[in-house]
Amino acid sequence: MSVVLLAHGDGGLLTRELVEGLFLKYFKSPLLRQFSDAAVFNWPGSRLAITTDAFVVDPIFFPGGDIGKLAICGTTNDLAVSGARPRYITASFTIEEGFALADLEKMVASMAVACAEAGVDMIAGDTKVVPRGHLDKLFITTTGIGMVPEKLDWGYHRPVPGDAVLVNGSLGNHGLTILAARENLGLTGALASDCAPLNNIINLLQEQCPGIKMMRDLTRGGLSTAAKEIAEACGLDLCLREDALPIDQAVRGAADILGLDPLYLANEGKFLAIINPAQAAKAVDILKQNAYGRDAQVIGEVCAGKGNVYLQTTLGGTKILGLLAGQPLPRIC
């Protein structure tokens, strides 16, 4: 393949091939090879986590959020699922000439609200403007820094067979909302993005459920892609149950009509956690008391194996889940 495709940015199979086949050929840091949502490392007197991300979503305003809110939530969530307490964010704005100042202010105000909810400070930034037609409206690039508790040990080395797998709520809302808004499908009244900062509820789980082994943010590629990456990195299987998966009726119905699988659709307010089974019920109870976890469910368990993800279907069969291949929804974040 001699050119970059949209699918290289979907977080699935081609993204992995691009990262492993090109970027890791030149960048050798072991921190980069953690393949986690944020790099966690020791610093004199503390442990830090850092993440960086670019946001190019189309449309930039959508039911449930906008590109500014998305940038803050996406950055803080990547830190939080790595066990960090998000503290600081920087942002770079690349703006197309002619972009309405009123829309820019609306988006920046939305970022400020999200920062306040997440408890993070915007401490640095940059602005560039490019000629009309050289960019689609507005792109935002962020970097986030967080503090990791000294004794916290989350990672792919922690899960063992028998651990529970849980998610904090319904799947596929963001990806389907973006598609419906972009293509004017007339479904937006029933759909809204789940875009939300999750660090406060994750911090609460961290404090009350020490049996948590690891977490992953369920963004590009959806639940299936994240589950497959976890299984491969752990060298274990994940055995999930279709009847336990929380999927809103609006998402399920629209996905059926459009021929899409909600398990591969992006989320911006959902995480997967692997936890000691003795604490799984407690974790779900804590989540259900929060607006960002009211549909939390245990969806399966970790099993001995070789890095596969199995879904027990409602019909009694078994389906193998893999990485997203292809690009059904470009520019969802």
Q: Report yes or no: 223 and 215 within 8 Å, Cβ to Cβ.
A: no
235 found inside a domain: yes
Same domain, 22 and 133: yes
User: What separation, in Å, do the N-terminal and C-terminal C-alpha atoms of the chain show?
Assistant: 25
| Residue 328, pLDDT score | 60
CATH of the domain at 61: 3.30.1330.10
| Residue 263, pLDDT score | 96
217 found inside a domain: yes
| Residue 143, pLDDT score | 98
310 found inside a domain: yes
Same domain, 81 and 142: yes
Same domain, 63 and 134: yes
| Residue 183, pLDDT score | 86
| Residue 32, pLDDT score | 84
Residue owning tokens 């977080």: 11
> What's the token pair of residue 3?
């050119």
Q: What is the pLDDT of residues 15-51, one digit of tens each?
A: 888 888 899 999 989 888 877 889 999 988 889 999 9
Burial of 288 (0-12, 13-18, 19+ CB in 10 A): middle
Q: Phi and psi of 94, rounded to 5°? A: -110, 115
Residues 6+ apart with CB under 8 A from 245: 167, 171, 223, 263, 297, 299
- DSSP structure class, residue 242: G
H helical segments located in the chain:
13-18, 24-26, 67-80, 101-118, 173-182, 199-208, 222-234, 249-258, 280-288
Burial of 315 (0-12, 13-18, 19+ CB in 10 A): exposed
Same domain, 210 and 240: yes
Pairing of strands 138-147, 46-55: antiparallel
Q: Report yes or no: 143 and 74 within 8 Å, Cβ to Cβ.
A: no
276 found inside a domain: yes
| Residue 7, pLDDT score | 82
| Residue 37, pLDDT score | 87
Same domain, 226 and 317: yes
pTM for the model: 0.94
**Can you list the residues of the chain whose pLDDT is less than 50?**
none
Q: How far apart are CA 54 and CA 169, in angstroms?
A: 25
Same domain, 24 and 72: yes
Range of the domain at 69: 6-147
Q: How many domains does the chain have?
A: 2
